[in-house]
Amino acid sequence: MKKSKRSVLSALALLLAALMLSCAISCGKKPAGDPATDNTPLPEGVTAEPNAAPSEKPIFYDPETDYDNRYGMGYDCIVETEDAYYCCASYSSRYLFYYDKASGERGVLCSKPECMHDAGGTDCSGLIEMCGASLNYWDGRLHYLAIDRNHHCYAFFSVALDGSDKRMDTLADTSPIEIQGATMPQRLDYHRGKCYGWRYYEEVENSELFNCIDVVSADPQTGETRLILKEKLEVYPTEPKLYYHGNYVYISYNIQDYEELEDHVEVLSNILCIYRWNIETEELEEVLRTELLDIGEKGSGFRLYIDAEERIWTAPVYGEQTVYTIESGALCKAFLCDNPWSCFMLDGAAAVFSMPDMALEVRRLDGSLIYEGVLDTSFIEELDTSREYELDSYFGIYGDAEAIYISFVLDAKDQERAAYCLVRYDLTGGTPKPEIIACLPGLR
């Protein structure tokens, strides 16, 4: 029998919450190849044949202006500077945390020495109450989106790297993207002067329920917001993955339709969509839009990576463990990971991970093995032993060929509060050793 929209959306939400879980951009030139086209309809605003000519000027990654893809395409907020890490888990904490690389000191980023912080300090300067995954770094400060309670609207805030001088910078003008039933973006990334993000929501029109995804931009200087791409569907889109490369924002998502039978779910359609937004010309063009079932593939949640030769690499988080390149407007298999686990495209590498076994396989993009084995979980012993923490699940995996970051959910036997724990594993020295970047109590 046909599965109801509401029940399918609920199932999708549970799947995303359980499994949701990348990258310094290399030098190169804009892709000169024509975008792939087929007969499927394009979303609002897409141009199949963009007019912009390729630039001959090399594109360099600038950490002061460009988004660090190593920490993107998920639900965690991770910022790395020369001296420290900063993080705030959008699903688990209202507080901003830091980790000092030199001293190993970590905790709530607060400039008040006597503050109770997340143990109950309501005036803690580390209490940011961030909206979505919107923590970013530019101009020497940490920036995020939150509610301004004086004006009762969204606003961009910022704070100094030592936790002092927290202030509201700009009120967000959300009127261009206000839609009944829609929220602000679930994620916002800062890249070359603007923030880009996405949202997933339901929209009712003439008593008909539609499933929608939007990709939007926001100017943190003026507060202006803009709709870049919209899909309004009777079937089911996946959450978009955004990747930043030079003057382009790449956007990846699936459009799926399926039927629930007595003993299994029959996938009727699974379209992979990849677009790119030119931040200079403000044009959206199609890179790839293909029916995966036609080539026997079942994956979804495709992350992206672009190498120094402008080659696009992609791999699905769910459904299969294949790493692909896009060649002449088509998916081409590059290599297959050995283990049947969730797959993650990283910066110059790919990883598959099994949470029940705590097993990890990481490969370079030539298919050669970096590491395969069971991860060390001794970091739990560094936490509050009275809580008797146990590994429960994870939100995401990030990183590159030298280090990966896993955001774990830890259950406590006292049943009071679970914890979010961001752990770094160094891949350069043989057996990866865990390093706790942050431990955030109060997940639920």
Compute the distance between CA of residue 58 and CA of residue 61 in angstroms, rounded to an integer.
Answer: 10
**Which pLDDT tens digit goes with each residue over 346-388?**
999 999 999 999 999 999 999 999 999 999 999 999 988 777 8
Cβ contact 240:198 at 8 Å: yes
In which order are the strands placed within the sheet that holds 141-148?
A: 136-138, 141-148, 153-160, 167-171
Query: What pLDDT score was predicted for residue 39?
Result: 47
Give me the mean pLDDT over the 295-311 stretch: 91
Query: What pLDDT score was predicted for residue 26?
Result: 34
The β-bridge partners of 142 are: 137, 159
Least confident of 169-173, 307-311, 411-415: 411-415
Handedness of CA 390, 350, 398, 431 (dihedral sign): positive
Element (H, E) at 9: helix 5-19
Compute the distance between CA of residue 47 and CA of residue 34 in angstroms, rounded to an integer.
Answer: 12
Give me the mean pLDDT over the 208-220 stretch: 97
Query: What pLDDT score was predicted for residue 31?
Result: 35
CA distances from 300 to 81, 169, 199, 273, 291 (A): 32, 38, 17, 10, 12
Cβ contact 44:216 at 8 Å: no
The mean predicted confidence, pLDDT, of the chain is: 85
Residue 443 token pair: 């997940």
Query: What pLDDT score was predicted for residue 43?
Result: 54
Give me the mean pLDDT over the 317-337 stretch: 94
Q: What is the full DSSP assignment across 88-157?
A: EETTT-SB-EEEETTT--EEE--S-TT--GGGT-TT-TTB----SB--EEETTEEEEEEEETTTTEEEEE
**Which pLDDT tens digit goes with each residue over 145-164?**
999 999 999 999 999 999 99
Cβ contact 244:25 at 8 Å: yes
Query: What pLDDT score was predicted for residue 397?
Result: 96
- Provide the strand spans (E) within 1-83: 46-47, 76-80
Q: Buried (b) or exposed (e) across 309-328, using 16+ Cβ within 10 A?
A: ebebbbbbbbbbbbbbbbee
Compute the distance between CA of residue 407 and CA of residue 396 in angstroms, rounded to an integer.
Answer: 6
**Which pLDDT tens digit goes with each residue over 240-288?**
999 999 999 999 999 999 888 888 888 899 999 999 999 999 999 999 9
Element (H, E) at 249: strand 248-260
What are the structural domains, with CATH classification, of the chain? Answer: 26-48+55-341 (2.120.10)
Give me the mean pLDDT over the 209-233 stretch: 97
Query: What pLDDT score was predicted for residue 360?
Result: 97
**Which pLDDT tens digit goes with each residue over 117-127?**
866 667 888 99
Cβ contact 147:154 at 8 Å: yes
Give me the mean pLDDT over the 323-343 stretch: 95
Give me the mean pLDDT over the 394-404 stretch: 96
Compute the distance between CA of residue 239 and CA of residue 205 in angstroms, rounded to an integer.
Answer: 21
- pTM attached to this predicted model: 0.85
Q: What share of the chain in percent tops pLDDT 90?
A: 67
**Which pLDDT tens digit goes with each residue over 423-441?**
999 999 889 999 999 988 7
Sole residue written with tokens 């993080």: 87
The β-bridge partners of 347 are: 400
Cβ contact 250:228 at 8 Å: no
| Nearby residues of 404 by Cβ (< 8 Å), 6 or more positions away | 346, 351, 360, 362, 397, 398, 424, 425, 427, 432
